[in-house]
Each structure stands twice: as C-alpha cells, then as structure tokens.
Amino acid sequence: MEKCLLGKSDLAVSRIALGCMSLGTDQRKAQEIIQTALDAGINYFDTADLYDYGVNEQIVGKALAPVRDQVIIVTKVGNRWHDDKNGWYWDASKTYIKEAVKQSLQRLGTDYIDLYQLHGGTMEDRIDETIEAFEELVEEGIIRYYGISSIRPTVIKAYAERSNIVSCMMQYSILDRRPEEEAFPLLEKHGISVVARGPLARGLLSDALLNKASESVKQNGYVNYRYQELKELLPLLKEKLTTGRGMTAASLQFVLAQPVVAACVVGASSVGQLVENVRALEQPALTEEELHFIRKLTKSNGYEQHRLCEKTR
C-alpha cells in the first residue's frame, strides 16, 4: 500500500489507517481484523485510552506486539473517565497527560508511542502547559511525535502556530467539506498533515448508501444536509462516480485527493468490511472532471459552530 510522510515527521503512514474503536472486546476477532490490515499493507493503527475503558489499547497492543517495530501506534489523551466509569470529563492538564501516557504504555505493552494525540481541545485549556507536556514526552523518548484530534478552528490555529504538532485528525468527507476553506490552508502552510476520520459518513458514502442511514440521520440529517437532500444527492453521486468503481472507492479517493490529507482512518467490525475499504484503493482514481462534479454538487460550508470553548472529540 502507498505510504506518505506525516507532516514534518519521519513517520511513513499507509494511506488507509485502521480505526480500532469498532474492533470490540473479543481478542480473537480483533486479532483477525488487525492481521488482515497488516497483510494489506496497513501500518497505521488508531486507538485511544477512552475506547472500552482502555481495553481497546490492550487488544491493539497485544495484536501488534510481534510487529511492533514495523507499525505506527497512535493513541489519544484528554477524555478522563470518572472513577465509576459512568461518563468522562475533559482534562488537558500537564499532570494528567504525563500520568495517562504511562497507563497507555502499560496497556499497549510498549515503551514508546509513535503518535500521541490530544483527543479534542478547547480554548479554555492552558494550551502552553498542554504543549509543554507533549514536548517533554518527546524529549524523554516516551512519544515520537504528537498531534491533535479536533474540528475546532480556534484550537487548530492555536496548535498550528504555537506547537510542533505533525498532524490534525478531523472529520472530512464528500458530505462534510467544512475543513477545506479554513483548516486545510492553515495546516498546509505549517506543514501539518490531516488524518481524515469519517470518510464514509457513517456508511452513507459506502456502497450501501441510504441503507446505512440511522434513525438519527433520518430525523436530523447529516452535518449540513437534511435527509431529503441526501435522498436526492446520493443517487446523483452514485450515477456519476461509480462507473468502474464502487461508491466506497469514490468516497475514499475524494478524501485522499486532497494534498494535505496523509491518511483516511476507516473503522472495521469485520474482516469483510476492512477488505472492502482496502480494495477501494485498487479501483480507478477520480478524474479532475469527477472531482469538479463532486465539489459543484456538494456543500463546502465552513464551521458555524465549534468556535468557542465547548469540547469536541
């Protein structure tokens, strides 16, 4: 699988990354999915201390232990579980980050983390203190690089200008083009790569299309689209883009066509689902005409929210 450097780091990441949140807690099943990813050339594995109360990190670490020096393990920090595990709260303090990383290392069964991401961020945080924590972890050799996972323009701007982040993980797809106008140019200017999550828009941009629409989508729509708009838009996209390729392929290739995007994070709860996503890269690339059609037909609204201090993952 094609790889590219993540920001200004020396991390050569596969264009498709495995989002491990949906692996579940069955080690055998998760091992099978992860092995399929490895066989396909995927080397980027994304987890977080929040997922399944840390069990996800344990599963990922155990599965990747035999190939630890060949893979890039990415985890996140900032969302802190209550003692009774009934919900979590935000903590981006230096003290917590430096304590939480020790617990992640133990669960992952490794002595270093390739990419450590702040799992959100607000302008109310003591950002310089948070950056200091990550910088010290780099100096200590505990993490190789750090990044953020955020869609909040003010937070992205602060870290792009004041820190040494190499990546910003954010939601981006044909149905969510909000980052294009504001975030992408800023990140590209600072040599920071985007890691795109949600490229298939909860399955709406997979080959299943509206068959994947949840009750929430049917009632509330998706991002800037009402459900009725999706019913009109998705068939048009399918008709134009699926000659010689599937909709899943077209959706992933649209995201990866952005120069600032280094990788797409795709989740998989089964081997079949992962194989479908990997095969997308083997299908014909989108032409300039098709890319223009997508941009003309879909919305590129900027961010109207997430500009103050509410938390986001």
For the chain, list residues with pLDDT below 50. 307-313
pLDDT in tens, 265-295: 999 889 999 998 999 888 989 999 999 999 9
Instruction: Please state the φ and ψ torsions of residue 10, each to the nearest 5 degrees.
Output: -105, 20
Give the β-pairing of 79-81 and 143-149.
unpaired
Give this prediction's pTM: 0.92
Alpha helices, DSSP H only, in the chain?
27-39, 55-64, 94-108, 127-139, 153-162, 179-189, 215-220, 227-241, 247-256, 271-279, 288-297
DSSP letter for 305, please.
Answer: S
Q: How far apart are CA 252 and CA 43, in angstroms?
A: 17
pLDDT in tens, 40-51: 999 999 999 988
Question: How many Cα atoms within 13 Å fall on the side-chain side of residue 146?
Answer: 26
Contact 216, 222 (CB under 8 A): no
Residue-level pLDDT at 82? 76
> Does 96 participate in catalysis according to the annotation?
no
- Residue 70 has a pLDDT of 97
pLDDT at 304: 65
Nearest 5°: phi and psi at 11? -85, 110
Annotated catalytic residue, options 51, 146, 222, 225: 51
**What is the model's pLDDT at position 53?**
85
Domains and CATH numbers, the chain: 3-202+258-270 (3.20.20.100)
In angstroms, rounded to a whole number, what is the distance separating the alpha carbons of residues 292 and 90?
40
pLDDT at 312: 36
Six token digits for residue 136: 């010290």
What is the DSSP code (8-state) at residue 284?
Answer: P
* C-beta pairs of 202-209 under 8 Å, 24+ apart in sequence: 204/175, 204/230, 204/234, 205/173, 205/174, 205/175, 205/234, 205/247, 205/248, 205/250, 205/251, 206/247, 206/248, 206/251, 206/276, 207/246, 207/247, 207/248, 207/276, 209/234, 209/235, 209/238, 209/247
pLDDT at res. 305: 58
